[in-house]
Chains A and B, each alone.
Chain A
Amino acid sequence: MINRIHIHLSLLVCTILEIIPMPISFGTYRPDWLLMGLVFWNMFHPQNMNIGIAFLYGLVLDVLLGYTLGMHALAFSLVMYVASIHHLRFKNYSIWQQSGIVGLYTAFHNMVLFWSQHWLNDAFFHLNYFWPIATTMFLWPWCFWLLNRVRRERLRH
């Protein structure tokens, strides 16, 4: 039970980072914070952190960003499914391998978002879609280290 509080607090911080105001030229480089948070907690607490929670956080993000409801929910649930299947293997990878996998997850996430946008709004492909993948991969080691400290701190008590 206590586990869940710090999981959700850190995911809340991730959600805030997703919407925090940034200069308009940096907007395209914004990493997928929430995706990193979800993948991290799924790796250590797969029984608390499942597809349903990812779905709910996706829905909150849809409302916050003014997207069509269900867009991020769909993308997060699909990514969460893939991450849950591989969470044991993922845990044993080195941090660099992990960051590669997280890059793949982000690419998958963005691809689902693009497909649903394309289907609903006729969005066409743009090379800028690749930036979040690079920034997310770059930030994963730091994010991992930070969240791991939160986790250790919690386990000690």
Chain B
Amino acid sequence: MKPIFNIGPSLESRLFVAVICAVSLLIADGLYQFSKPMRVTLNSLVYPIKFIASLPGEFLEESSDLFVTQADLLAEREILISEIMQLREKSQRFEILEEENAQLRSLMDAPLAPEFQKTIAELLAVDNSPYSQQVLINKGALDGVFLSQPVLDDQGIVGQISDIAPTDSRVLLITDIAHAIPVRILRNNVSLIANGSGNTNRLNIKYVAHSADVEIGDLLVSSGLGEVFPAGYPVGIVSDIVRDESKPFAQVNATPLARLDRIRYLLLLDTQAALSDQAQRLDSQ
């Protein structure tokens, strides 16, 4: 039976309590990051929901894998073989260059660029709203993922790890409005900061002086400042520049090189291990 009169506290007092709770949570979490240590626990609590949500996608993928014809597989194999041949040829030249570079760097007494351990992760889910651009990947704390670990695809930098659960983790894309990455122009080493725009195909470059030497088509690579992303990985290409003298800075936009709208496999760079290796080597010297 439905009671005719509402039982319990009035609507207004309920709303009051809820709003006070929500706003204090927002302040505590948004401004002071109080939930950061508990996020792994919170994430493992809601893991069942996430797991059920990932089932239909996995099922579709598996069934589409079942119905691939032999001809398709052979064609794909052909493409992959030719790609491997081209890459091997490139890596032959690359090895010589790397050695030469190391020799030159040691002549100049500059530290060697460390080699990173890489882990391959697969995409689980995408959360793409203008408010937040994140993807979920299938590697988590158990696979040695750590906070702010750099994430790449085969073209360039994708983002960094923002949230870790035991078996999966969340990647904040470089185009998220809350994300910024220090970059430099490959052509002339001008340092800039690329902010996310909330749009998967655009980065906003902030605080560019009108006189700065920036041209359309310039390649932006990570500068290694900020110590999250290692130096020298491609980030984007400058796509348009508006030099409006009435504004304090020039408006510069860039297109990310990583294909953020069609992510499938991602590379996680183990910068922590490489850095501790380097520190040990410096200690022993």
Q: Which residues of A contact B (CB under 8 A)?
A: 12, 15-16, 19-25, 27-28, 30, 46-47, 50-52, 54-55, 58-60, 63-71, 73-74, 77-78, 81, 84-85, 113-114, 116-117, 120-124, 126, 128-129
Contact = CB atoms under 8 A, between A and B. Distances in A.
Nearest to B6: A47
B3 A47 contact: yes
B33 to A, nearest CB: 9
A12 B162 CA distance: 25
- Nearest 8 A/B pairs, CB to CB: A70-B25, A27-B128, A74-B22, A77-B18, A21-B125, A120-B30, A70-B26, A69-B29
Given A24-B128, A63-B43, A68 B50 contact: no
A65 B134 CA distance: 9
B23 A74 contact: yes
A123 to B, nearest CB: 5
Interface residues of B, number: 54
B255 interface: no
Contact of A128 (B26, B52, B130): B130
Contacts of B155: none
B9 to A, nearest CB: 9
A55 B31 CA distance: 20
B18 A52 contact: yes
Chain A CB within 10 A, most for which of B3, B26, B260: B26
Interface in B1-47: 2-3, 6-7, 11, 14-15, 18-19, 21-26, 28-31, 35, 39, 42-43, 45-46
Contacts of B200: 24
Interface string B85-106: 0000000000000000000000
Contact of B198 (A16, A59, A78, A126): A126
B102 to A, nearest CB: 40
B132 A66 contact: yes
B144 interface: no
28 contacts: A19-B49, A24-B260, A24-B262, A28-B130, A46-B6, A47-B2, A52-B14, A58-B22, A63-B42, A63-B43, A65-B127, A65-B134, A66-B127, A66-B163, A67-B132, A69-B29, A70-B21, A70-B23, A70-B24, A70-B26, A70-B30, A71-B22, A73-B25, A77-B15, A78-B15, A84-B11, A117-B131, A120-B30
B107 to A, nearest CB: 46
B26 A24 contact: no
B266 interface: no
Contacts of A78: 15, 19
Contacts of B18: 51-52, 54-55, 73-74, 77
Given A51-B14, A73-B22, A120-B31, A19 B125 contact: yes
A70 B49 CA distance: 19
B261 A69 contact: no
A8 B178 CA distance: 33
Contacts of B26: 68-71, 74, 116, 120
Given A70-B26, A122-B177, 5 more contacts: A16-B52, A47-B7, A55-B21, A78-B15, A126-B198
B125 A77 contact: no
